[in-house]
Amino acid sequence: MRLDVREIRRKKLLHLVEEAGGQKALAARCGLSAAYICQMLSEKVNRHVGHNAARRLEEGMGKAYGWMDVLDTFAPPEDPDRVRDAGGARAVYGDGAASGAVQRRNLWKLVEREGGVAGMAARCRIPADMLLGVMESAAGEVPAPLARCIERQMGVPDGWLDGDPKM
């Protein structure tokens, strides 16, 4: 079963509604309207949980940055089809050195080690779209909770992405 970030966020939103004690309670905690939450949950309304709403939901419910985007319990780690193959990351990002961002260069090393973006995303249980977004971000820095999660899943020490590793 393939899940994209919109589907993952919708499933996570359902979880947050239950955790908060209903749509109105969640809306109040996150500074969103109950109607907006209802629209994002509706299968009939074409309203998805966007980046800004996901971050507000995470903050309001005390979740780590990027929690809304992570697959965790929604797909078994053994399922290689659970993320879309983003394909040709090298064609998009070149050799990684042009960006100058140490974290992105180190992310690229991990992506190559795993045989591509889809492989690393599957191993880390994050959407390939999210991994690509982090790699191409002009801001450069990988949010610390996400960096530590990637490091743990890839079997490298905490802080490895922040340094200049020799692999």
One fold for 5-69 and 80-162: yes
Q: Please, which residues have CB within 8 angstroms of residue 9's CB and are 6 or more apart in sequence?
A: 48, 49, 54, 68, 69
Rounded distance, CA 100 to CA 130, Å?
Answer: 20
- Give the whole-number percent of the chain exceeding pLDDT 70: 73
The reply to whether CATH 2.40.128 applies to domain 80-162 is no
Residues in the chain where the model's pLDDT stays below 70: 1-3, 71-101, 136-141, 164-167
Contact 30, 52 (CB under 8 A): no
Map residue 10 onto helix, strand or coil. Answer: helix
Q: What is the pLDDT of residue 34?
A: 92
What does the domain layout of the chain look like in residue ranges?
A: 5-69, 80-162
Top-tier CATH class for 5-69: mainly alpha
CA distances from 150 to 3, 87, 140, 160 (A): 19, 19, 16, 10
Residue 136 makes CB contacts below 8 A (sequence gap 6+) with 92, 93
Summarised one tens digit per residue, pLDDT across range 71-92 is 664 333 344 333 333 333 333 2
